[in-house]
Structure 1
Amino acid sequence: MKVTDPVEDLHAALARPGPGTSDFDLNPEAVLPEGRKLRPAGVLVPILMHKDGPRLILTKRSSALKHHPGQIAFPGGKQDEGDADVTATALREAEEEIGLPRDLPRVIGHLPSHETVTAFDVTPVVALLDHPFEVVPERSEVEEVFTVPLSHVTSPANFIVESRRWRGQRRKYFVVPFGPYYIWGATARILRGLAARMTP
């Protein structure tokens, strides 16, 4: 069996062309409003280089938040006027949400943008962390910070499709469970796109 370098696989995956993703990918019957305006946002896909293999850092959002309480998410948010670009947005938000120093992540590329049901145009910024850091969660936003093996969330076989009723219609979405964590929605869809790129 051929052993591959996960970092080389990541670089190759990011170099492959392909379309963006959307919360509506599994729901082709969905009719999106014409002329809708998407707000730019950036999320960091931070991959910690661990002796046992790369691990992806994720957050569990505070259950007190108005939007998406308790959901699993990447650090990130909407682009502010003071941000130079969405990469700067992702790095700023990661520092604010989990205490990740802005000079620690080694940005290696971007995944195609992802459109959310909440009208954001999200750019996933992929970065490697060569060293661990002291995690300091912003408690008003982040309930927990945890890691999952990168191999788990880049294996298409670990993803399943579930559905629930949303705004009067049944909507399908990807889920990639890991232990007690139910990773779904935009986070899982972005990861499913990465998994597809890493296993062409």
Structure 2
Amino acid sequence: MITPRFKADSLIDQLRQGIGFAPSPRRADAAVLLAITQEEQPRVLLTRRASHMRHHAGEVSFPGGRREAGDTSNIVVALREAFEETGLNPFQVELLGELPSQRAKSGLWVKPIVGLIPPDVILVPQPDEIERIFYVELMHIIKAQPLPYPVQLNQQQYYMPSFQLDNEIIWGLTARILVSLFRRGLRHSIEWPLLMNQPQDII
């Protein structure tokens, strides 16, 4: 992993310069809002999905969801879902841009929309979908060493790279979107393999 050479107070300025919107964006199957607090030590808004959900139960994710028939853009999808899940007022979001679409394990193509929010915004989790709303400092994620996380797939156990912060495990699509944010918006590369060796094999 490359050691960051930038300061926390310059992160938002770099994101403003490094991220934008495509002139003719493609309609994705779903969208998420990667919301970052606009403050000296910017934080990333994350949620933990309810344990009774049929898909991605108990996983850490960004607010977001599938496109609905009346949604006119990826931005509309991300802002609508964020409002439904956390109560975030769309008018409190300063849009910065988008990241490349990522394919979820469900097969859906997900478009990350990046925006800034006030640090003191009041959010309330929608209990049918969200168990917890929390924040992690962006710099803490940038400096975090990817750790192996065991996942059962097709009756076999694999070890996926993950960020383990604030007693939460950030892996899968959410982690890949963060890595994309660092690469695209901050020109900071993190080695992020699809699979990792078993813990005893890692030095």
TM-score normalized by structure 1? Answer: 0.79
Structure 2 match to 1:176? 163
Q: Percent identity?
A: 32
In 1, are the aligned partners of 2:136 and 2:166 still within 8 Å (CA)?
no
Comparing 2-11 with 137-146, greater Cα deviation is found at 2-11
Partner of 1:115 in structure 2? 103
2:83 to 90, 95, 109: 95
Partner SS for 2:52 = coil
Match of 2:62 in 1: 74
CA shift, 1:128, in A, is: 0.4
- Cα RMSD (Å) of the superposition? 2.3
Q: Please give the alpha-carbon distance, in whole angstroms, between the structure 2 residues aligned to 1:163 and 1:124.
A: 25
| 1:60 corresponding residue in structure 2 | 48
Counterpart selection for 2:11 from 6, 11, 18: 6
Letter in 1 for 2:171: W
Which of these residues, 39, 48, 52, is aligned with residue 37 of structure 2?
Answer: 48
**1:58-83 deviation line (CA, Å, top 9, x unaligned):** 00111111111111000000011111
Aligned length: 177
Give the 3 Å change call, closer, same or farther, for CA 189–174 of structure 1 in structure 2: farther
Deviation at 1:189, TM superposition (A): 1.2
Q: Which runs of 5+ in 1 are unaligned?
A: 18-37
Whole-angstrom distance in 2 between the partners of 1:185 and 1:130: 27
Could you list the per-position Cα deviations for residues 101-132 of structure 1 after superposition, in whole angstroms to 9, with x for gaps in the alignment?
01110010001000011011000000001352
Query: In structure 2, how many angstroms separate the alpha carbons of the residues matched to 1:120 and 1:151?
Result: 29
2:168 match: secondary structure: coil
Deviations 1:25-71 (A, max 9, x none): xxxxxxxxxxxxx96100000111235x1111100111111111111
How far does residue 161 in structure 1 lie from its aligned partner after superposition? Answer: 4.2
Question: Relative to 1, partners in 2 of residues 1:195 and 1:69: Cα closer, same or farther, differing over 3 Å?
Answer: same
Structure 2 residues not aligned, in runs of 5+? 190-203
Tell me if the contact between 1:176 and 1:184 (Cα under 8 Å) persists in the aligned partners.
yes
Structure 2 Cα separation of the partners of residues 141 and 169 of structure 1: 28
Q: How far apart, CA to CA, are the structure 2 residues paired with 1:80 and 1:14?
A: 26
Q: Give TM-score scaled by structure 2 length.
A: 0.78
Instruction: Name 1:195's counterpart in structure 2.
Output: 182
